[in-house]
Homo-oligomer: A and B are copies of this chain.
Amino acid sequence: MKRIAESTVRRLSIYLGFLEEIGAEGVLTTSSDDLARLGGTTSAQVRKDLSFFGSFGKRGLGYSVPELSSHLREILGLARKWHICIVGAGNIGCALARYAGFAERGFMITGIYDSDPDRIGGRVGRVLVRDSASLEADIAAGEHDIVVLTVPPENAQDIVDRIVGAGIKAILSFAATQLAVPADVELRTVNMAMELEALTFALTNRDR
């Protein structure tokens, strides 16, 4: 199979969001045109995105909402449950642990780790705070599929090296620093400063 562009995957997520929304409202059929309008793209783009994975529509008619939802869930890897743990029980780590949105999409928070003895053993929402020292062992035991990293930038690379060594294959980092991982580890970084700077750049340079 051809390599899929990151932008395509992002759009598939958006399409799935809409399908679940309108599906919950009882809508049974939709079109590439609808999906495009709601997702801020074009109908040709929608059809091209889907065509990488198969032919899910009926010509002259459109797409079945439940069918296409289910195909997209399959494609995005959401057919199974994923266990995610949060490393770093600071402001953002705790906020994410309490955030309900994960479960809705099938992600289970299986732990939050910290090195502060005052926090270890406590709970954040329903999630137990565990000792960072046991992180590698828990990962090696297969307890977590994905690590969400919410530690200070100066500790981030150290944690990454440890969890990669323990066998983790997917990391979502909120640490404001560039991280190095082997090629077989998937890393995504959300950087607040970068997002704000994209805005200030646009505001500053809008009329050139």
Beta-carbon contacts under 8 Å, A164-208 to B: 169-172, 176-178, 184, 186, 188, 190-206, 208
Please name all residues of chain B whose beta carbon is closer than 8 Å to the beta carbon of A195 when the two chains form the complex: 172, 188, 190
Q: Is A82 an interface residue (CB 8 A)?
A: yes
Binding stretch for chain B, among A5-13, A63-71, A112-120:
A5-13
Q: List 22 A-B contacts (CB under 8 A).
A: A1-B208, A4-B201, A10-B194, A13-B197, A13-B198, A17-B177, A17-B193, A40-B178, A75-B205, A76-B197, A76-B201, A77-B200, A77-B204, A84-B196, A91-B95, A92-B92, A102-B193, A146-B196, A146-B200, A170-B199, A172-B195, A172-B199
